[in-house]
Amino acid sequence: MLKTRVTEMLRIDRPIVCGGMQWVGRAELAAAVSNAGGLGMITGLTQPSPDDLRAEIARCRTLTGRPFGVNLTILPSIVPKPYEEYQKAIIDSGVRVVEIVTHEPARYYPLFKDAGVTIIHKCTSVRHALTAERNGADIISIDGFECAGHPGEDDIPGLVLIPATAEKVRIPIIASGGIGDARGLVAALALGADGVNMGTRFCATREAPIHDNIKQVLVNNDERGTRLIYRQFRNTARVAATSVADRVVEILKNPDALFEDIADLVKGIRGKEGLETGNVDAGLIWGGQVQGLIHDIPTCQELLDRMTQEATALITGRLASFATP
């Protein structure tokens, strides 16, 4: 049993959260994480409309009686979404926790705060964490440079970013990026976090609603198996190393390259097709450096049992043994 401010606030048994994941964060994975004692997360924008999101939340309730959250990602997008309508769907459905990514907390927080929804603000820098805290966030999820998805433009890995955030922010912190096992969890707690957030690791679980071929890519890749793209657009993204990622890197080596030159290759719909059919060359696959620590495809229950048991053993065994009187 690991009890922290995050387990208390989120009313969960284990300080482990599943981050929002486009096309992956569906009801079956969210429910599996929550049933295993963590906080599962439905990814709001994976659902084509706010009404579809309402239906997905209802479906999740048939699979778990435990708390789960909804991720709302408000970032530059080829197709902008009716974000406020998604917010209303979350609130009307009685969801108590959101993981939000936004550069405009003052604009998007009030609806959630008025409804008493717990706000986990995910960001990649201390200054954005402080802005979120000032605007009333309840928890900061701080995503280090190792992470899958958008690591920001500062390139600060978790070993520095987590304690740097803990030094400045008073509300609880969830450490994100590069965490996949008990060692990462214990390290995050030692660095000042009250819990961890994982993305890539949860893709390589039995319940993740993606093709086995893709899970196998995550197992086979090592810690060097990622590519950074979009740096010149100030929207850096870390994806798994695949033939499509390599082509995008190659095209973007040209300093005059425009987003239009890669727009077709990186279309979300291509990524979705790859995840569903197992065609690794269909589109981008999002994945982090933690692939180097992923060696199996367990159930969420097996993963969270293992992580908490090994974390407890690490704290009370190996670490305690270093502290001589």
Site residues (CB under 6 A) for ligand FMN? Answer: 19-22, 24, 43, 71, 73, 101, 122, 143, 146-149, 176-179, 197-201, 203, 286-288, 290
Residue 294: which of 136, 126, 179, 125 has the closest Cα?
A: 179
Please tell me the distance from the alpha carbon of residue 271 to that of residue 239, in angstroms, as a whole number. 11
Closest-CB residue for ligand FMN? Answer: 199
Task: Rank residues 5 and 272 by Cβ distance to ligand FMN and give the closer one.
Answer: 272
Task: Rank residues 40 and 288 by Cβ distance to ligand FMN and give the closer one.
Answer: 288
Q: How far is the CB of 316 from ligand FMN (least distance, A)?
A: 26
What φ, ψ does residue 118 adopt, rounded to 5°? -70, 125
Q: How far is the CB of 21 from ligand FMN (least distance, A)?
A: 4
Identify whether the C-beta of residue 325 lies closer than 8 Å to the C-beta of residue 197.
Answer: no
Task: Rank residues 48 and 65 by Cβ distance to ligand FMN and give the closer one.
Answer: 48
Task: Rank residues 64 and 141 by Cβ distance to ligand FMN and give the closer one.
Answer: 141
Helix (H) or strand (E) holding 227: strand 226-229
Task: Rank residues 135 and 141 by Cβ distance to ligand FMN and give the closer one.
Answer: 141
Q: How far is the CB of 53 from ligand FMN (least distance, A)?
A: 13
Q: Is 273 exposed, middle or buried (0-12, 13-18, 19+ CB in 10 A)?
A: middle
DSSP type of residue 48: S
* Tokens read off for 120: 């986990």
Q: How far is the CB of 256 from ligand FMN (least distance, A)?
A: 29
Q: How far is the CB of 296 from ligand FMN (least distance, A)?
A: 16
Residues whose CB falls within 8 Å of the CB of residue 277, separated by 6 or more in sequence, listed in order: 211
